[in-house]
């Protein structure tokens, strides 16, 4: 009796004729991700991804990695047995849950219609025999403590217990790579890692961009971003962070532009640079962690002026969330503790005392006329460092 994973697909089952393309990408992602854990046979059949160890494998580590794979909604830790009623019964009798459960029922899903018993017949047979084998565990078809799940599929029968590991939640969403690529502005704050995670969950392969402002920001601030990227790595499959030095641009804005417009002009430069990196990498959008009205640069007027420098869509998955919700989400994906470390990023450098909350595009363009925009952007891009996590 082999222990395997059954990976349940979420919205992928709704993809119709395109579903196989999504499943192929998911299988490819899993093969690459699980390779360090040992040899596995991974394949898709009948809306399930099967992960079977081929020899010695680290099943615990593999489970953790499967839980952090987008495209999978839930995971069952199952036993693969012969498609024979007595083999299924023998496996069910070995379930350790019968040592503690007070009630049970059996549910059967017969995907292989060639199996000689109907779902109800197999459930009744296995359930009746289990009731005799475990007389202290009562049958309860409405609210059992233990549900014995049986699935009859093309190659084998699969059996697992709801009290064991059935229903282990995974990332859901779409497999990374099925929606193309996007550049994500990644600061050391709480919001942007959550935004990045949310859009990776929609199938985007993410290219993070972080802006450094030495000597105003420290090496600890840089390391903080790298640590956040490492936390996000299992979800994103692979990450290369573009580290862009932003000091000269900020100093030029401070010297040549009105103080009240400093933040919005800085954001416009970040967006210009992100758009260039997107073009270099074949990315189709820019992701930010902006939430409407949270700070001066995130008012409707400010967002409109910032986004005016690019034709690329700017994706803002947090736009309608409040700070409490974002913090809760950051805790859920384990980025909050690192994001909360007191190492400031470039967004806090030269913060104006009274930033303008309703900037007009014409006044911002007039203020930027004092800057050599193309040269500043080109210099920042030329000095960018690309760090593979």
**Quick one: CA torsion of 48, 51, 52, 58, rounded to 10 degrees?**
-150
Least confident of 11-15, 242-246, 268-272: 11-15
Q: Which residues pair with 52 in a beta bridge?
A: 41
CATH number of 181-388: 3.40.50.620
Q: Please state the domain extents for the chain.
A: 2-169, 181-388
How confident is the model over 80-87, as a mean pLDDT? 94
Beta strand 2-9 with 72-81: parallel, antiparallel or unpaired? antiparallel
How far apart are alpha carbons 148 and 95 in whole angstroms?
9
Q: Which of 29-43, 326-340, 342-356 has the lowest mean pLDDT?
A: 342-356
Q: Tell whether the model's pLDDT for residue 331 goes beyond 60.
A: yes
The pLDDT confidence band at residue 207, using thresholds 50, 70 and 90, is very high
Compute the average pLDDT of residues 270-279: 98
Pairing of strands 181-185, 103-110: unpaired
From the options 3.30.450.260, 3.30.420.40, 3.30.2130.30, 3.40.50.300, give the CATH code of 2-169.
3.30.2130.30
- Mean per-residue pLDDT, 241-269: 96
Give the three-state DSSP class for 161: strand
The mean pLDDT of 25-54, rounded to a whole number, is: 91
Q: Is the pLDDT of residue 219 over 60?
A: yes
- pLDDT for position 1: 55
Closest to 340 in 3D by CA, of 350, 330, 348: 330
Query: Which tens digit of pLDDT belongs to each residue from 91-127?
Result: 999 998 898 899 999 999 998 999 999 999 999 999 9
Q: For 169-183, write each residue's pLDDT tens digit.
A: 899 999 999 999 999
Please give the residue that has the higher pLDDT: either 360 or 342. 360
The tokens for 242 are: 């573009």
Whole-number Å distance between alpha carbons of 48 and 25: 14
Mean confidence (pLDDT) of the chain: 93
pLDDT at 163: 66
Residue 186: predicted pLDDT = 97
pLDDT of res. 92: 95
């Amino acid at each position: 009796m082999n222990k395997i994973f059954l990976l349940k697909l979420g919205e992928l089952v709704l993809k119709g004729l395109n579903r196989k393309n999504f499943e192929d990408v998911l299988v490819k992602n899993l093969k690459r991700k699980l390779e360090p854990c040992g040899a596995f046979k991974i394949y898709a059949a009948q809306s399930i991804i099967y992960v079977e160890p081929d020899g010695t494998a680290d099943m615990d580590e593999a489970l953790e990695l499967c839980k952090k794979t987008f495209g999978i909604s839930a995971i069952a830790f199952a036993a693969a047995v012969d498609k024979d009623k007595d083999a299924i019964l023998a496996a069910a009798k070995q379930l350790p849950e019968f040592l503690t459960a007070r009630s049970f029922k059996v549910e059967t899903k017969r995907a292989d219609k060639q199996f000689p018993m109907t779902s109800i017949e197999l459930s009744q047979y296995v359930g009746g025999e289990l009731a005799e084998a475990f007389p202290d565990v009562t049958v309860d078809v409405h609210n059992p403590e233990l549900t014995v799940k049986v699935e009859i599929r093309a190659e084998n029968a699969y059996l697992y217990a709801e009290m064991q590991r059935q229903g282990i939640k995974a990332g859901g969403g779409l497999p990374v790579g099925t929606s193309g690529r996007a550049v994500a502005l990644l600061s050391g704050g709480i919001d942007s890692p959550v935004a990045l995670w949310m859009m990776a969950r929609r199938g985007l392969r993410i290219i993070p961009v972080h802006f450094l402002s030495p000597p105003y920001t420290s090496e600890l601030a840089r390391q903080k971003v790298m640590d956040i990227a490492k936390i996000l790595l299992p979800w994103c499959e692979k990450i290369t962070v573009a580290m862009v030095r932003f000091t000269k641009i900020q100093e030029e804005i401070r010297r040549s532009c009105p103080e009240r417009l400093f933040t919005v002009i800085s954001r416009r430069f970040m967006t210009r640079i992100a758009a260039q990196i997107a073009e270099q990498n074949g990315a189709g959008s820019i992701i930010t962690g902006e939430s409407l009205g949270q700070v001066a640069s995130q008012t409707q007027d400010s967002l409109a002026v910032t986004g005016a420098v690019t034709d690329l869509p700017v994706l803002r998955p947090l736009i309608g969330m409040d700070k409490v919700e974002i913090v809760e989400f950051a805790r859920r994906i384990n980025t909050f503790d690192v994001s909360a470390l007191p190492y400031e990023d470039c967004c806090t450098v030269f913060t104006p005392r009274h930033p303008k909350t309703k900037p007009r595009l014409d006044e911002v363009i007039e203020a930027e006329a004092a800057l050599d925009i193309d040269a500043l952007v080109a210099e920042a891009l030329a000095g960018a460092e690309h760090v593979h996590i």
